[in-house]
C-alpha cells in the first residue's frame, strides 16, 4: 500500500456539491443509485478519479447518457473519467453484498440473516464501499437519501438529516426519504434498516428548536436504553451552557448494534453505537460501564459541532475533531461526577495506553506525518494525547478566552474542513496570546521527560527550581525540539501548608498556586520569602502530558500524599512513592523507606472516616503493570506481576486485617444497586478492599467473595466477586462461572464480561484457559466485542499470561490474527498493537516475539491494516 503524506496534500481535482442516493435494500444484495453534481477543482482539465471498493458497477451515465466503455476506466479501486465538465451529473448504479461483509465497513448486516438489520459504517473510508465518490473529508456535499425495502423485513428505515417523506410501494415494499440541509463529508453518511424498537423524548434547544430524540435497539434490549437517553439530554444541555452549541436538525437518532468495530460513530443526525456503549442496566452493567455510556453518548453528540459542522481537511487533522471532542467529553464527565477522580482515571488511561504507545515503534505525533491505512491512526495518541494538548491550550489562555476562542473557531469554520492551525489560531486570536509554539506538540512524537531539581538557601529564604526537558528519539524523528510545558505548582511546608508564592525580580504575590511555562530546554525559577525548605507539588492536575523526574525524598512525597488539597496530586504523590518502592524492589535493593512512607500515609488516610471513598480506592491502587513495565528494559512481565503483588501486599499488611475487614463488612452490609455517585464510589472502594483482603488472607476473602457473588444486588459487585474467586484460584470460581453463564446466556454484553474476566486471570495457566474459551461455542471471531473480550484482554491486559517465556502465547495469538485478518482487518490490526513493546522484552521473549512477527509479516494475504502495523512494529 502506498504511503500517504501530509506534505503532499492537494485540494480535490473534482468534488461534488449535491448527492442524491437511492437504495434498494436487501440482506444478500442491495443496489445503490447515486447522482452526483460535479464541481471542478483548480484544474478543470484534470481527469476525474473517484474511489470505489468492492463495487459491482451495473450502470454509469453522464448527464443522463450512458457512458460508452471507452470513456471510463474502473480499475485499482478507482473510477477514472476524462473530459468531464463542471456542473455535469454523474450517475452510477452498483450492487453490494451486505451479508457477506465481515469487515463491518460500508453496508453490512448486524446479527443473523433472518432477524438482523442493515447498517453502515463509513469513517474513515467506508463510503467508497457503498458508491463511487471522492471519499475524502474536504469534499462536502448536500445529501438526499431515499431508502426502499420490503416493509415486513425492514419496517424501520433511517438515514441522516431531516425526514422528507415516506410511503408505500408495490409488492409490500415501502420508501423513506431524508434530506440533510448541512453540507457534509462522506464519512458522516449513515443508514439503518430493519426491525428495531425505539424510545423517544422531546427536547427543546436553548435557541428554541423542537427536536425528537429517538434511541433505537432490537426488541430484547430496548428496555436498557433509558440511561443513554438521560445522558443524551444532559449532554445537549451541557453543550448549550458550556460551549453555546445547539443541536441543528429536527430529529436525532441513536442506534445500538452488537456488531461494531469501535465504540460509536457520530454520523450526522444518526449516531450508531456499539451496544457496549449504549445499553446499561444495573443487573448486567458495571458502574464503570455506566460511566462509559455517559461519556461516549456525550462524545458522539459533541461531534455534531466539533467534527460535523466543522470537520477535518484531511485525515492527518484527525485530532482536530477527536482530541477536542475527547477534551469536551472529559470536561462533561468531570462536571457530572467527581472532577478529581475523573482526572485520575484519565491520566491513568493516558499512561497505560498512550505513554506505552509512544514508547514503542508505533509512536507517532498527534498529527501524524504519514500513513498507509488511516484506520490504524485512531489511537490513544490522536485521542488521549490530543485531548491533553487541548487541555494545555485551554489552561494557557484561561476559561474566558477559551470560550471566546472556541466560539470564533466554530463561527469561522462552520461548514468548512479545517486544520489544527485553524483551531490553535482561533484560540490565539481570541486570547491575544501567541500559541504558535504549542503547534510543535502536534508534530513531535514521544513523551517528554521533565526533570525538576530544587535548591533551598536558608540564608536568604530563596528556593531555586531548575526545570529541564528532554524527549527520546522516536521513529522518523531522531532530534527533538524543546516544547512549551506548563508546570502548575504549589510549594508546601513540612506541615503540609501551601506557601505564598513570589518570584524573584517581581513584587507580585502569586497566591498559593501558579503556572510556570518552561519554553526552553532548561530554565531556572527562583522563589523568594520562604522561611522553610519547600516541598514542591508539581504539574498539578497533570498540567502537561510528560513524565516527571523529581528528586523527592520519600517523606516529602508522604507529606503531599497526606495534605495536598489537589486530589489529583495527592494521588500522584502516592503513585510516585509506589514507583520509588517498585524501582528499588526491581533492582533488588532495600525498598523499606519508600514502602514505609507510602503505606503509613495510606494507613492514616484509611483511618480518616471522612475521606472520599472514591479517592481512597484510587489511593489504595498501585500503578498498573503496564506503567511499571514502562520503567524497564529487558522486561520480564511475570516478575513485574509479582512485584506489583508485593506493593499490594505491603498496603494490606500495613493497614492490617481487622480494619480492612471491618471497613469491607460495613460497606457490604450497606450494599444496594443504587446508581448515585456516592453509592458507586463506595462499591469501588469495597472492590479494592476485597482485593487487598484476598492478598492478605485468601481463606478470609474467598467466603466473602462467594457471599458477595451470591447476594450481589448489581453487576459491579458480582463481577468483582468473580474476579477475586478466579484470581485466588478458589474452587468456588467454577460454580460461580457456571451460574453466571446460565444467568446471562442471552445477554451478549454480560457474556463478553464472562470471557473477559477469565481472560484477565494472570499467570502460567492463562493460555490453556484462553485456548479452551476460544473453542467455546459462544466465542466467535466475527464479533469484535467478543474478540476484544477474549483475545484483546489476553494480549493487552494480561502481560504475565500472554508474554510466556516459551513464546506459546505469541504462537496462539498469531494464529488467531491470521484467521481474524481474513474476516475483519481493522480488528486484527488493533489486536496486533499488543506487540508494540516487543523490543523491550527480555531476550528470550524478545526473540520469540520477533520470530512470530517476522513470520506474520511474510504471510502473503495480509490486509493493508495488519501489514502496516506488523511492519511498523518490526521496523
Ligand atoms: N469517529 C469515530 C471513530 C471512527 C473510527 C474509524 N475506524 C468514533 C469517535 O471517535 O467518536
Ligand atoms: Zn470521536
Among protein residues, the one whose CA lies closest to atom 10 of ligand 1: 322
Span from the CA of 296 to the centroid of ligand 2 (angstroms): 9
> Which of 129, 266, 302, 330 is the pocket-test mutation for ligand 1 (most atoms within 8 Å of CB)?
266
Whether 751-875 and 449-543 are alike in CATH topology: the answer is no
What pLDDT, on a 0 to 100 scale, did the predictor assign at position 513? 98
CB-based contact 382:417 (threshold 8 Å):
no
**In sequence order, what are the beta bridge partners of 204?**
210
CA distances from 473 to 217, 352, 363, 445 (A): 48, 20, 10, 8
The atom of ligand 1 lying closest to the CA of 263 is 8
Span from the CA of 577 to the centroid of ligand 1 (angstroms): 37
User: What whole-number distance in Å separates Cα of residue 588 and Cα of residue 567?
Assistant: 32
- Angle at alpha carbon of residue 406, lines to 404 and 409, rounded to 5°: 110
Q: Tell how strand 4-5 and strand 370-371 pair up.
A: antiparallel
User: What whole-number distance in Å separates Cα of residue 752 and Cα of residue 744?
Assistant: 10
The atom of ligand 1 lying closest to the CA of 124 is 6
- Contacts of residue 803, defined as CB under 8 A and 6 or more positions apart, other chains included, come to 635, 637, 638, 809, 841, 845, 849
Write out the H or E segment, with its range, that includes residue 45. none
What CATH class does 311-440 carry? mainly alpha
Q: Is the pTM of this model over 0.80?
A: yes
Span from the CA of 15 to the centroid of ligand 1 (angstroms): 24
CA of 187, nearest ligand number? 1
Span from the CA of 571 to the centroid of ligand 1 (angstroms): 32
Burial class of residue 513 (count of CB atoms within 10 Å of its CB; 0-12, 13-18, 19+): middle
Among protein residues, the one whose CA lies closest to atom 1 of ligand 1: 265
The atom of ligand 1 lying closest to the CA of 261 is 7
Span from the CA of 270 to the centroid of ligand 2 (angstroms): 14
- Contacts of residue 679, defined as CB under 8 A and 6 or more positions apart, other chains included, come to 672
- CB atoms under 10 Å from CB of 364, counted, come to 24
The atom of ligand 1 lying closest to the CA of 264 is 8
DSSP reduced 3-state for 422: helix
Q: Which CATH fold topology does 4-302 show?
A: Immunoglobulin-like (2.60.40)
Sheet holding 48-51, edge to edge: 48-51, 78-81, 72-75
Span from the CA of 735 to the centroid of ligand 1 (angstroms): 39
Among protein residues, the one whose CA lies closest to atom 5 of ligand 1: 123
Span from the CA of 300 to the centroid of ligand 2 (angstroms): 6
CB-based contact 125:377 (threshold 8 Å):
no
DSSP single-letter state for residue 135: -
The length of the chain, given as a count of residues: 875
User: What whole-number distance in Å separates Cα of residue 498 and Cα of residue 218?
Assistant: 56
For domain 449-543, give its CATH number from 3.40.50.2300, 1.10.3720.10, 2.60.40.1840, 3.40.50.1000.
2.60.40.1840
Name the catalytic one among 123, 125, 300, 868. 300
User: What whole-number distance in Å separates Cα of residue 328 and Cα of residue 49?
Assistant: 37
CB-based contact 48:14 (threshold 8 Å):
yes
CA distances from 183 to 136, 140, 312, 551, 654 (A): 14, 5, 13, 55, 62
The atom of ligand 1 lying closest to the CA of 300 is 11
Helix axes 318-336, 339-349, angle to 10 degrees: 140
CB-based contact 51:96 (threshold 8 Å):
no
Among protein residues, the one whose CA lies closest to atom 8 of ligand 1: 265
The atom of ligand 1 lying closest to the CA of 826 is 7
User: Which residues, judged by CB distance below 6 Å to any ligand atom, belong to the binding site of ligand 1?
Assistant: 123-124, 262-266, 299-300, 303, 322, 375, 378
User: What whole-number distance in Å separates Cα of residue 574 and Cα of residue 811?
Assistant: 38
CB-based contact 571:500 (threshold 8 Å):
no
DSSP reduced 3-state for 779: coil
Burial class of residue 515 (count of CB atoms within 10 Å of its CB; 0-12, 13-18, 19+): middle
Burial class of residue 37 (count of CB atoms within 10 Å of its CB; 0-12, 13-18, 19+): middle
Q: What is the mean pLDDT, run by run of 10 residues, along the chain of 875 residues?
A: 97 98 99 99 97 98 97 97 98 98 98 98 98 98 99 98 98 98 98 99 98 98 98 99 98 98 98 99 97 98 98 99 99 97 98 97 98 98 99 98 99 98 98 98 98 98 98 94 98 98 95 98 98 98 98 97 96 98 97 98 97 97 96 95 98 98 97 93 97 98 98 97 98 98 98 99 98 98 99 98 98 98 98 98 98 98 98 96
User: What whole-number distance in Å separates Cα of residue 113 and Cα of residue 119?
Assistant: 13
CA of 266, nearest ligand number? 1
Write out the H or E segment, with its range, that includes residue 834. none
Query: 751-875 domain in CATH 3.40.50.2000?
Result: no
> Which of 123, 129, 380 is the pocket-test mutation for ligand 1 (most atoms within 8 Å of CB)?
123
Start-to-end CA distance of the chain, whole Å, equals: 16
Write out the H or E segment, with its range, that includes residue 344. helix 339-349
| Domain range annotation of the chain | 4-302, 311-440, 449-543, 546-655, 660-669+686-744, 751-875
Among 779, 712, 719, smallest CA distance to 750 is for: 719
Among protein residues, the one whose CA lies closest to atom 4 of ligand 1: 123
User: What whole-number distance in Å separates Cα of residue 27 and Cα of residue 128?
Assistant: 19
What DSSP string runs through 519-568?
-SSEEEEEE---SS--EEE-STT--SS-EEEE---HHHHHHHHHH-SSHH
- Angle at alpha carbon of residue 7, lines to 5 and 9, rounded to 5°: 80
Span from the CA of 434 to the centroid of ligand 2 (angstroms): 28
Among protein residues, the one whose CA lies closest to atom 7 of ligand 1: 375
Q: State the complex-level ipTM.
A: 0.99
Count the helices and strands in the chain (H runs, E runs).
30, 31
Strands (E), 122-277: 140-150, 156-159, 162-168, 173-185, 191-194, 197-204, 210-217, 251-257, 264-265, 270-274
CB-based contact 303:184 (threshold 8 Å):
no
- Would you state the cell numbers that stand for residue 783, as one nine-digit string? 464479533
DSSP single-letter state for residue 596: H
Residue 300 annotated in active site: yes
DSSP reduced 3-state for 199: strand
- Would you state the cell numbers that stand for residue 2, as one nine-digit string? 502506498
Strands (E), 588-728: none
Q: Tell how strand 140-150 and strand 173-185 pair up.
A: antiparallel
Amino acid at each position: 500500500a502506498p504511503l500517504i503524506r501530509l506534505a503532499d496534500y492537494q485540494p480535490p481535482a473534482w468534488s461534488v456539491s449535491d448527492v442524491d442516493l437511492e437504495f434498494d435494500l436487501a440482506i444478500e444484495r442491495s443496489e445503490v443509485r447515486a447522482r452526483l453534481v460535479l464541481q471542478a477543482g483548480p484544474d478543470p482539465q484534470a481527469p476525474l478519479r473517484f474511489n470505489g471498493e468492492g463495487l459491482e458497477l451495473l450502470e454509469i451515465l453522464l448527464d443522463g447518457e450512458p457512458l460508452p466503455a471507452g470513456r471510463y476506466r474502473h480499475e485499482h479501486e478507482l473510477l477514472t473519467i476524462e473530459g468531464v465538465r463542471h456542473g455535469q451529473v454523474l450517475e452510477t448504479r452498483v450492487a453490494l453484498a451486505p451479508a457477506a461483509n465481515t469487515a463491518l465497513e460500508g453496508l453490512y448486516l448486524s446479527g443473523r440473516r433472518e432477524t438482523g438489520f442493515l447498517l453502515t459504517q463509513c469513517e474513515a473510508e467506508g463510503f467508497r464501499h457503498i458508491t463511487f465518490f471522492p471519499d475524502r473529508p474536504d469534499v462536502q456535499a448536500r445529501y438526499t437519501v431515499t431508502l426502499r425495502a420490503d416493509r415486513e423485513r425492514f419496517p424501520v428505515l433511517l438515514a441522516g438529516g431531516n425526514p422528507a417523506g415516506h410511503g408505500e410501494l408495490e409488492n409490500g415494499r415501502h420508501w423513506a426519504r431524508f434530506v440533510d440541509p448541512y453540507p457534509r463529508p462522506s464519512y458522516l453518511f449513515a443508514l439503518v434498516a430493519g426491525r428495531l424498537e425505539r424510545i423517544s423524548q422531546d427536547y427543546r434547544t436553548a435557541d428554541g428548536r423542537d427536536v425528537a430524540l429517538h434511541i433505537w435497539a432490537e426488541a430484547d434490549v430496548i428496555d436498557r436504553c433509558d440511561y443513554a437517553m438521560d445522558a443524551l439530554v444532559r449532554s445537549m444541555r451541557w453543550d448549550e451552557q458550556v460551549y453555546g452549541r445547539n443541536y441543528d436538525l429536527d430529529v436525532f437518532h441513536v442506534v445500538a448494534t452488537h456488531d461494531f468495530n469501535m465504540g460509536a460513530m457520530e454520523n450526522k443526525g444518526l449516531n450508531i453505537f456499539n451496544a457496549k456503549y449504549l445499553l446499561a442496566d444495573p443487573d448486567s452493567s458495571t458502574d464503570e460501564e455506566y460511566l462509559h455510556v455517559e461519556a461516549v453518548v456525550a462524545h458522539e453528540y459533541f461531534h455534531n459541532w466539533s467534527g460535523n459542522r466543522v470537520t477535518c481537511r484531511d485525515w492527518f487533522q484527525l485530532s482536530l475533531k477527536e482530541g477536542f471532542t475527547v477534551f469536551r467529553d472529559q470536561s462533561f464527565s468531570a462536571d457530572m461526577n467527581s472532577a478529581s477522580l475523573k482526572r485520575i482515571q484519565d491520566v491513568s488511561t493516558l499512561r497505560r495506553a498512550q505513554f506505552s504507545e509512544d514508547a514503542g515503534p508505533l509512536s507517532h505525533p498527534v498529527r501524524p506525518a504519514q500513513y498507509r491505512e488511516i484506520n490504524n491512526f485512531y489511537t490513544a495518541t490522536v485521542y488521549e494525547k490530543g485531548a491533553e494538548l487541548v487541555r494545555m491550550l485551554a489552561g494557557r489562555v484561561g476559561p474566558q478566552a477559551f470560550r471566546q476562542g472556541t466560539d470564533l473557531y466554530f463561527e469561522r469554520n462552520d461548514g468548512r474542513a479545517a486544520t489544527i492551525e485553524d483551531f490553535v489560531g482561533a484560540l490565539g486570536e481570541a486570547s491575544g496570546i501567541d500559541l504558535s509554539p504549542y503547534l510543535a506538540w502536534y508534530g513531535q512524537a514521544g513523551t517528554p521527560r521533565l526533570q525538576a531539581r530544587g535548591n533551598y538557601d536558608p540564608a536568604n529564604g530563596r528556593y531555586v527550581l531548575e526545570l529541564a526537558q528532554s524527549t527520546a528519539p522516536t521513529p522518523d524523528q531522531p532530534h527533538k525540539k524543546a516544547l512549551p510545558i506548563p508546570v502548575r505548582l504549589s510549594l508546601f511546608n513540612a506541615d503540609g501548608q501551601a506557601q505564598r508564592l513570589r518570584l524573584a525580580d517581581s513584587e507580585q504575590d502569586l497566591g498559593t498556586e501558579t503556572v510556570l511555562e518552561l519554553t526552553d530546554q532548561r530554565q531556572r525559577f527562583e522563589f523568594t520569602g520562604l522561611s522553610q525548605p519547600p516541598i514542591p507539588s508539581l504539574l498539578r492536575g497533570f498540567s502537561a502530558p510528560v513524565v516527571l523526574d523529581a528528586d523527592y525524598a520519600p517523606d516529602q512525597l508522604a507529606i503531599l500524599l497526606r495534605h495536598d488539597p489537589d486530589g489529583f496530586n495527592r494521588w500522584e504523590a502516592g503513585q510516585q512513592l509506589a514507583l520509588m518502592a517498585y524501582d528499588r524492589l526491581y533492582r533488588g535493593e532495600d525498598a523499606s523507606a519508600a514502602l514505609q512512607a507510602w503505606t503509613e500515609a495510606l494507613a492514616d488516610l484509611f483511618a480518616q472516616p471522612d475521606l472520599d471513598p472514591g479517592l481512597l480506592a484510587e489511593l489504595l491502587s498501585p500503578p498498573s503493570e503496564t506503567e511499571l513495565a514502562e520503567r524497564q528494559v529487558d522486561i520480564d512481565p511475570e516478575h513485574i506481576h509479582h512485584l506489583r503483588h508485593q506493593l499490594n501486599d505491603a498496603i494490606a499488611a500495613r493497614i492490617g486485617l481487622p480494619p480492612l475487614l471491618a471497613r469491607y463488612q460495613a460497606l457490604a452490609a450497606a450494599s444496594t444497586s443504587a446508581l448515585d455517585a456516592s453509592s458507586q464510589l463506595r462499591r469501588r472502594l469495597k472492590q479494592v478492599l476485597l482485593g487487598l483482603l484476598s492478598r492478605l488472607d485468601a481463606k478470609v476473602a474467598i467466603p466473602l467473595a462467594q457471599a458477595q457473588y451470591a447476594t450481589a444486588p448489581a453487576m459491579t459487585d458480582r463481577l468483582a466477586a468473580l474476579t477475586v474467586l478466579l484470581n485466588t484460584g478458589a474452587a468456588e470460581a467454577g460454580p460461580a462461572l457456571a451460574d453466571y453463564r446460565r444467568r446471562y446466556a442471552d445477554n451478549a454484553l454480560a457474556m463478553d464480561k464472562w470471557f473477559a474476566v477469565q481472560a484477565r486471570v494472570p499467570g502460567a495457566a492463562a493460555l490453556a484457559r484462553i485456548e479452551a474459551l476460544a473453542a467455546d461455542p459462544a466465542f466467535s471471531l466475527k464479533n469484535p466485542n467478543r474478540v476484544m473480550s477474549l483475545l484483546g484482554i489476553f494480549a493487552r491486559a494480561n502481560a504475565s499470561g500472554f508474554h510466556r517465556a516459551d513464546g506459546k502465547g505469541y504462537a496462539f495469538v498469531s494464529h488467531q490474527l491470521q484467521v481474524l485478518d481474513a474476516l475483519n482487518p481493522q480488528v486484527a490490526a488493533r489486536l496486533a498493537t499488543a506487540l508494540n513493546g516487543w523490543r523491550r522484552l527480555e531476550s528470550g521473549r524478545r526473540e520469540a516475539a520477533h520470530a512470530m512477527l517476522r513470520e506474520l509479516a511474510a504471510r502473503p494475504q495480509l490486509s493493508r491494516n495488519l501489514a502496516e502495523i506488523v511492519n511498523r512494529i518490526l521496523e
